[in-house]
Amino acid sequence: MKVVLINPSDLRFQGTFKGGVVRGLPLGLAYIAAFLEKEHEVKAIDLSVQDVDLQKFFSEYYPDIIGITATSASFPDGLRIAELAKSIVPNSKVVFGGSHVSALPLEIVKHNAIDIVVCGEGEITMQEICNGKNLSEIDGIVYKENGKVIQNNPRKLIEDLNTIPFPARHLFDVFAYPHHPLGKRKPHVSIIISRGCPYHCIYCSKKVFGRTYRMRSPENVCDEIEYLIKKYGIKELQIIDDSFTLDKNRAITVLKEIVRRKLDITWITPNGTRADTVDEELAYWMKESGCHFVFFGVETGSEKVMKNIRKTYKLAQIEDAVKNCKKVGIGVGGFFMFGLPGETPEDAKKTIDFAKKLNLDACAFHPIVALPGTELYEMYKEKGFIKDDDTSKYFWHTYPTVGTDTLSRDEIFYWYKKAHREFYLAPKYILRKILSMKSWQDVKNNVNGLKAVLHTQ
């Protein structure tokens, strides 16, 4: 089979947003490609970093199967690609996967240009599709047959992550992806060490990796790191797990193996991680193994709102985690959201005050986005809080798509902008950043950070 795997673009990678957004190699597609390339001819296209004439490509390559991944924000572009593909290669099979379509498979598959929707982890499912297995026998898909929509049994999660081949990064331009603004060394790549999260935060979707936490062995992880160092000269990792530090003891075994092998890498957690497990011991091994910056999902400075979103730890535990990291020399950032259930102007002010109290090195403040597949989405949809159903705007850097009974859209946007001003333009913060700059890379990172802040105003 001739297969092409495509990562669509979205508003984050276009126009005024383009310079301020971190882009990473789509590891989900790279993992699927690793399963397919031994038996099939596989190509990969990432439109977040590539400018490709798709009409010409489809006409010349004429693929049998077109796999498209989609977040909520990128789905509109993904659908455009599917429609273009069908107009040129009408007999091809168009397969969609990813978080957005896994949440809304019965709705998504009704589009004429989409033949199959893959729900959940896609590696084995796509392998079976490409190998020609009868669709009725493939778990984890929704498809159309004779005009009828059919939903098969769910796909079981892959229990042993060590059985999964390393991602086929060679099908992408590894060096085309901009470094994270807080990155320290180049070249860099993203890596996944664990999958799943057992917690029930109402704003987070578990439709792809599920609630079962699974972790790769220290040996398997470090074998991949050694491979990346030898093949690409990698010096920095971006660990993009849902929560790498969820299982403290297993995380420490990975970090000790990095130290034992004397792997010359640094690393950060750009997607955030849990704070309640980061005690002094874990912070020590994080630093020893090369960690120089970590983000925590703080979300709010209000204990009341924390309960509303089912965060299972206290603000005091976040304070402890920040102190533990700073004590060993790890920079700390926090993620915060405005527009959460029950949040009032007083709660929003508490969030800004708490962010400043933590003495963080960076903060990412966002208007809440109620993503399909989350409990928050169902709650806000039922209450009529979702004011804009254009999913291309379902990301963190736009005017709010929701307004609640305690904060209007204008008020959410006001607190979003006010938080950036009060945190980043505080004289104390500016002085601390100036004094901490030790290289031109530090200067560049801070300039990029300032641009991102100004973009919010």
Per-residue pLDDT at 17: 39
Asked if residue 385 and residue 276 are part of one domain, the reply reads: yes
Measure the CA angle with vertex 269, ends 263 and 273; round to 5°.
125
Q: Determine the pLDDT at residue 277.
A: 93
Task: For residues 190 and 73, state if they share a domain.
Answer: no
Residue 242 CB contacts under 8 Å (≥ 6 apart), including other chains: 194, 195, 196, 197, 204, 209, 271
Structure confidence at residue 438 as a pLDDT band (50, 70, 90): confident
Residue 395 is predicted with a pLDDT of: 66
- Of the three residues 108, 135, 151, the one that is the final residue of a domain is 151
| Pair 207, 273 in one domain | yes
Among the candidates 136, 151, 166, a domain finishes at 151
Reduced to 3 states (helix: H, G, I; strand: E, B; else coil), residue 150 is: strand
Instruction: Answer yes or no: is pLDDT of 13 > 50.
Output: no
- Which positions ≥6 away from 230 have C-beta within 8 Å? none
Number of domains in the chain: 2
**pLDDT: which is higher, 242 or 349:** 349
Q: Which two tokens stand for residue 342?
A: 């029950």
Helix axes 427-436, 409-424, angle to 10 degrees: 50
Q: In whole angstroms, what is the distance from residue 236 CA to residue 185 CA?
A: 6
Both structure tokens of 143:
């498809």
d(CA 362, CA 65): 43
Q: Is 104 part of any domain?
A: yes
Residues 90 and 195 in one domain: no
Kindly report the CATH number assigned to the domain that includes residue 345: 3.80.30.20
The reported pLDDT for the residue numbered 240 is 95
Tell me, yes or no, whether 220 and 354 share the same domain: yes
Q: How many helices (H) and strands (E) does the chain have?
A: 16, 15
For residue 291, the tally of other CB atoms under 10 A from its CB is 26
Please check whether residue 157 lies inside any domain of the structure: no
List, for residues 43-86, the tens digit of each pLDDT value: 999 999 999 999 999 999 999 999 999 998 899 999 999 999 99
| Same domain for 315 and 204 | yes
Nearest partner of 3 among 34, 27, 25, judged by Cα: 34
Give the separation between CA 297 and CA 319, rounded to whole angstroms.
12
What distance in Å separates the CA atoms of residue 64 and residue 56, rounded to the nearest whole number? 16
Top mean pLDDT of 202-216, 312-326, 367-381 is at: 312-326
Residues 324 and 192 both lie in one domain: yes
Q: Cβ distance 295 to 240 under 8 Å?
A: no
The CATH number that applies at residue 31 is 3.40.50.280
Q: Say which DSSP state 54 is in.
A: H
- Asked whether the predicted pLDDT for residue 389 surpasses 80, the reply is no
The full 3-state SS of 381-413, as one line of letters, equals HHHCCECCCCHHHCCCCCCCCECCCCCCHHHHH
Q: How far apart are CA 256 and CA 116, in angstroms?
A: 43
Alpha helices per DSSP H over 188-277: 218-232, 248-260
Domain that holds residue 118: 2-151
DSSP state of 425: T
Quick: pLDDT tens for 279-305: 999 999 999 999 999 999 999 999 999
- pTM here? 0.93
Same domain, 356 and 231: yes
| Residue 230 domain flag | yes
What share of the chain in percent tops pLDDT 70? 93
Q: Tell me the C-alpha distance between 73 and 311, whole Å.
A: 25
- Residue 434 clears pLDDT 50, i.e. is over it: yes
